[in-house]
Structure 1
């Protein structure tokens, strides 16, 4: 059975209810992971709905059920811009949820933002990608995992109207970059969506996650959702799946062509 055929689709009435439901699901998943293995990790996504999910997490009383000292947060992609640029996913997440989680005890060491263009590596996306890959590998070693990646209990993705996920775009060379052994994080140059330079997990890194959730809202996304769920093909979204579970969490508008 193909990953897309095995995917579960959950439709919510609108974007607001979608974000609230995903936040509740995420909190339960983190608690379950901590019960099962003592800690939990999640890979976050940006975008309008992704950021709204984080706001809902911050507002939920159930956030107190998670032991945030035993959570690691990662990113699936990032815009390679200065640290204070409002386009940064990490900056949006800080405003939406990270400050609230710090108040609940989450240490700064648990938040693994991708490097910025004015960071230690300067304006060198190749070096920045290697730095994030090394951070992932170090976390894997600390967890006793064999391989270059720690356990990702859940990895969330948005999807664009063109079917891109993370910063992997249809027909772009970055989509195949993960076919090179040992490459988990890549620089993306000349992205068709601004800003043109980005960092991204590769598809093999994405599909290493235990669960992959594609969180999608809006009628403009409906054709891509339908094509991706038809089976693996040219769209990166069609090739994003979890090792044990793949969820498409969508609003009614995004599901309108299913």
Structure 2
């Protein structure tokens, strides 16, 4: 398990811009070392804020976008183009503005292309299995209940260890049907970055970082080389 590092920013906007700069550097370094880079995106307020900051960054063109693989840590099982899909939101925030290779953009199959969330999970797992090497950076938003991806506290999907991708039913956050990477898949990434900003995340962050809540999904994830918590001041514990 990698060492954990906590970085606290003054506010959410600074956090988004600083994380965008950090991600650009990580992608460029990975491309220099291995020829291509692989990043797992997250949705939600902080994930989309990061992508918008990346789109606005004057350094964004230092990335060779054609040599970047993009994946998703979780997805809502909805039709292609649905505004609630993480893929749709990512396209609006960043993807449509940069010259990506479509063959290296890997959205989770939508509900109008897969017969069931189980079928979508199986197809995504097969696509992951065909990929070359581990993820370089895997981004995760931290929910107010400590959930990451679509792995919620006490939910059966959290305990799945024999697959890389799992169908999620009866999620406590709408929509209730989702597809998510499992904990083993998440923890296979070289670096895992957890994003949290806002007072509504403070209790979850404190619980996960302190280890007081052993059932917290956010406390169970780590990268093989580095685990990075990127917070704004309102989400950070007083001692961070």
TM-score normalized with structure 1 length: 0.90
Once the two structures are superposed, what CA deviation does each residue of 1:3-52 show, in whole Å capped at 9, x if it has no partner?
A: 6xx31000001111111111110000000101111111100000011101
- Runs ≥4 residues deviating over 6 A: none
User: Hey, what does 1:146 align to over in structure 2?
Assistant: none
Aligned-partner Cα distance in 1 for 2:50–2:234: 18
Name the structure where helix makes up a greater proportion of residues.
1
> 1:189: Cα distance to partner?
0.3
Aligned-partner Cα distance in 1 for 2:185–2:50: 23
Instruction: Please point out which of 181, 199, 222 is paired with 1:201.
Output: 181
Residue 117 of structure 2 corresponds to residue 125 of structure 1: yes
Contact kept? 2:164, 2:184, Cα under 8 Å:
yes
> 1:238: Cα distance to partner?
0.1
Contact kept? 1:223, 1:257, Cα under 8 Å:
no
Contact kept? 2:39, 2:138, Cα under 8 Å:
yes
Aligned-partner Cα distance in 1 for 2:94–2:103: 16
Contact kept? 1:219, 1:256, Cα under 8 Å:
no
Q: Pairwise CA RMSD of aligned residues?
A: 1.2
User: Hey, what does 2:226 align to over in structure 1?
Assistant: 245
> 1:97: Cα distance to partner?
0.4
TM-score normalized with structure 2 length: 0.96
Aligned-partner Cα distance in 2 for 1:133–1:71: 19
Aligned-partner Cα distance in 1 for 2:58–2:128: 30
Residue 127 of structure 2 corresponds to residue 135 of structure 1: yes
Aligned-partner Cα distance in 2 for 1:7–1:216: 15
Structure 2 gaps of 5+ residues are none
User: Hey, what does 1:185 align to over in structure 2?
Assistant: 165
Structure 1 gaps of 5+ residues are 144-149
